[in-house]
DNA sequence: TTGTAGGCGTTATCAG
DNA sequence: CTGATAACGCCTACAA
């Protein structure tokens, strides 16, 4: 094209402040260039999903997409996630990424006629795209670390096991323990809430058992920080009196006292993988990469040998 | 209408899986029912903005709007916020809410032809809607609390003062101190970063001064938690050896050791006020409510009388 | 009441 | 290669 003409057009665009109307374009071309992102609503400010949104949006914008975000209230309203998906479809999203890591059961039962990608869904359905989460490496190394310290009574601070997300982690932990020649005593499993206060309560329960655990693994970092609070209140110290391991590797792990040993579950990578998978699905490209995220053990200061 | 007919229509809708096309509707009616939300990108997972997005979205959906979220990278790319606003306008948003609390300077210089609402913008421009933040009550009560304990050497752990957001808090603190008959010694101001690690570094700087402060106020909770880490590393304890006060009232404040005394800056209310203001602006209703958020002092365990 | 034409802003197609 | 025109799906206004 004539560069002179291009300039003149640019000038006129500036002059009149012309902006293309995306809705009209979308209507005409049959493509909205919009995708939906569904994350879990988490009360009490868990920073995990904040980063998921940030990195997902970054990836999407880089590819020319805009993102419609919904926080699915899987806790108090089982239908909510389906409503979110419905709203998104009315907006003609070209696909939906679900990053609730096992809270998406309700979605399986309703008709969605755009590409959809799950992340950490517990069963690999044949027709459904799913970013697999390999929980094992992180749990395996974490348990091995504890076993090498000589721990035999390892406890688990879990969220509600009726939620598949938490059930999956529980199962992965049991498998990891079996691999390391130890077993998970049911009395040492505290089923609370995967929140700050849930962790605090759960640790109290575990410490009140007749023979408390010498090491405790937590279903996420937020619960682990709650557990730290309980320990402090009882005059105990993680990394000295009891071993404590979290899950997620939130930034705060580096700033707790002691710094929290944990299993990495990086939002940036998870968001990236999920978007890539969705993009493949939308472009219905031939290759179907088998996306998998591997958890990783992160050693810091909150573990120690068993006390007495 | 004939309820029988309504039913039949509903049935057919079910039958054929009809969904209205929002883009077409928007085009025809000239209303997109979409609004934009711009928040700050914060590195290292600050949970504050996560809640802002959650509650803003809830409020918007309740009024029939969908939300386009952007994280403005005010740190490394000053133009980014303007690009975000431009993208939103191409999507025909009916208005834009900016919740960056003083990081929005770049936006003032570019033409935006939809209603826009700021939050905590430091100067009240005449034509611009702004949810005012009243920093004083929180700071006033916090400083009074310290003065009643007998503190005279009060330090401030700040983010970079070249950013108006942090400058505003700094000014509010100085005013609050003056009201309480004390003054802020410039040697006791550590200008670092409003992040976990920034707080840790800043506290180190303050403790290395010839005459360290006996109490330290922080520009946010995240920095305060970082400061706690430094204190622990030096064998000091907040609430015993030194008084520490945060800002934001994140949930984590209740789970630090000791629980963090802070100034409340509630994301839920801030998001709600901002949405209400934007709604008034969009509906160009006659009444222009003067929305203001008042900070509030929250007493917990991290303060104490000055040591020796 | 029921039905139909015209237009929203853009793209794509098809003559010229 | 340029320029006119139909179509995208829905809404509104007007006519029957």
- Read off the pLDDT of residues A153-198 as tens digits, 9 standing for 90 and up: 999 999 999 888 889 999 999 999 999 999 999 999 999 989 999 9
Nearest to B69 among A69, A92, A113 (CB): A69
| pLDDT tens readout for residues A101-132 | 877 777 877 778 899 999 988 766 666 789 99
- Residue A285 backbone phi and psi in degrees, to 5: -70, 160
**Cα gap B246→A248, rounded to integer Å:** 25
Residues of A in contact with B14 (CB under 8 A): none
Quick one: residue B113, left, alpha or beta (phi over 0 = left, psi -120 to 50 = alpha)?
Answer: alpha
Quick one: residue B239, left, alpha or beta (phi over 0 = left, psi -120 to 50 = alpha)?
Answer: left
Q: Which positions ≥6 away from B284 have C-beta within 8 Å?
A: B115
**Cα gap A166→A170, rounded to integer Å:** 6
pLDDT band at residue A23 using 50, 70 and 90 as cut-offs: very high
Pairing label, strands A129-134, A292-294:
parallel
Q: Which fold has domain B136-265?
A: Rossmann fold (3.40.50)
**Cα gap A306→B18, rounded to integer Å:** 62
Sign of CA dihedral A241, A246, A249, A251: negative
Q: What is the pLDDT of residue B47?
A: 81
Q: What is the pLDDT of residue A124?
A: 64
- Higher pLDDT: A33 or B6? It is A33
Prior bond of B258 cis (ω within 30°): yes
| pLDDT tens readout for residues B179-207 | 999 999 999 999 999 999 999 999 999 99
pTM for the whole structure: 0.91
With contact defined as beta carbons under 8 Å apart, do A116 and A100 qualify? no
Mean pLDDT of chain A: 92
Asked whether the predicted pLDDT for residue A90 surpasses 70, the reply is: yes
Q: What is the pLDDT of residue A104?
A: 75
Inform me whether the C-beta atom of residue B251 falls under 8 Å from chain A C-beta atoms: yes
Identify the CA nearest to A114 among candidates A53, A165, A68.
A68
Would the CB atoms of B66 and A87 count as touching at under 8 Å? yes
Kindly report, as residue ranges, where domains of CATH 3.40.50.2300 are found in chain B: 33-132+269-293, 136-265
Copy the structure tokens of residue A96: 């939906």
Q: Which positions ≥6 away from B36 have C-beta within 8 Å?
A: B67, B68, B69, B70, B84, B85, B88, B91, B93, B95, B96, B97
Asked whether the predicted pLDDT for residue A1 surpasses 70, the reply is: no
| pLDDT tens readout for residues B86-101 | 999 999 999 999 998 8
pLDDT band at residue B274 using 50, 70 and 90 as cut-offs: very high
Nearest to A255 among B49, B87, B226 (CB): B226
E-strand ranges in B192-255 read 215-218, 243-245
Sign of CA dihedral A204, A207, A213, A214: positive
Inform me whether the C-beta atom of residue B54 falls under 8 Å from chain A C-beta atoms: yes
With contact defined as beta carbons under 8 Å apart, do A138 and A168 qualify? no
In this structure, chain A runs to a length of: 308
Q: What is the pLDDT of residue B163?
A: 83
Rounded to the nearest angstrom, the gap between the alpha carbon of residue A118 and the centroid of all alpha carbons in its chain is 11
Would the CB atoms of A91 and B48 count as touching at under 8 Å? no
Would the CB atoms of B232 and A89 count as touching at under 8 Å? no
| pLDDT tens readout for residues A69-81 | 999 988 788 889 9
Please, which residues 79-98 of chain B have a Cβ atom closer than 8 Å to chain A? 86-87, 89-92
**Cα gap A179→B46, rounded to integer Å:** 37
Inform me whether the C-beta atom of residue B190 falls under 8 Å from chain A C-beta atoms: no
Residue range A270-285: average pLDDT?
93
Judge whether residue B28 contacts strand D, using its CB and a 7 Å cut-off.
yes
Domain A33-132+269-293 = CATH 3.40.50.2300: yes
Q: What is the pLDDT of residue A145?
A: 98
Q: What is the pLDDT of residue A146?
A: 98
Inform me whether the C-beta atom of residue A289 falls under 8 Å from chain B C-beta atoms: no
């Amino acid at each position: 094209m004539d560069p002179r003409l291009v300039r003149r057009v640019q000038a006129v665009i500036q002059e009149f402040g012309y902006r293309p109307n995306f809705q009209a374009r979308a209507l005409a071309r049959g493509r909205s260039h919009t995708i939906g992102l569904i994350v879990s609503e988490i009360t009490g400010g868990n920073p995990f999903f904040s980063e998921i949104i940030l990195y997902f949006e970054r990836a999407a914008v880089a590819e020319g997409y805009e993102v419609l975000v919904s926080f699915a209230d899987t806790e108090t309203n089982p239908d909510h996630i389906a409503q979110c998906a419905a709203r998104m479809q009315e907006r003609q999203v070209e696909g939906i990424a679900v990053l609730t890591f096992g809270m998406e059961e309700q979605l399986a039962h309703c008709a969605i006629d755009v590409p959809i990608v799950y992340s950490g869904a517990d069963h690999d359905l044949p027709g459904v795209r799913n970013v697999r989460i390999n929980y094992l490496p992180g749990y395996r190394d974490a348990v091995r670390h504890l076993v090498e310290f000589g721990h035999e009574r390892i406890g688990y601070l879990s969220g509600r096991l009726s939620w598949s997300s938490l059930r999956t982690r529980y199962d992965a932990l049991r498998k990891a323990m079996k691999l390391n020649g130890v077993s998970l005593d049911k009395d040492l499993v505290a089923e609370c809430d995967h929140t700050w206060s849930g962790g605090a309560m759960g640790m109290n329960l575990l410490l009140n058992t007749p023979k408390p655990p010498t090491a405790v693994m937590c279903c996420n970092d937020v619960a682990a920080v709650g557990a730290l609070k309980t320990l402090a209140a009882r005059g105990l110290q993680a990394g000295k009196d009891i071993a404590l391991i979290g899950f997620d590797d939130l930034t705060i792990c580096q700033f707790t006292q002691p710094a929290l040993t944990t299993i990495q579950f990086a939002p940036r990578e998870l968001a990236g993988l999920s978007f890539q998978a969705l993009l493949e699905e939308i472009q219905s490209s031939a290759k179907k990469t088998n996306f998998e995220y591997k958890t990783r053990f992160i050693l810091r200061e909150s573990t120690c040998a068993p006390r007495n």
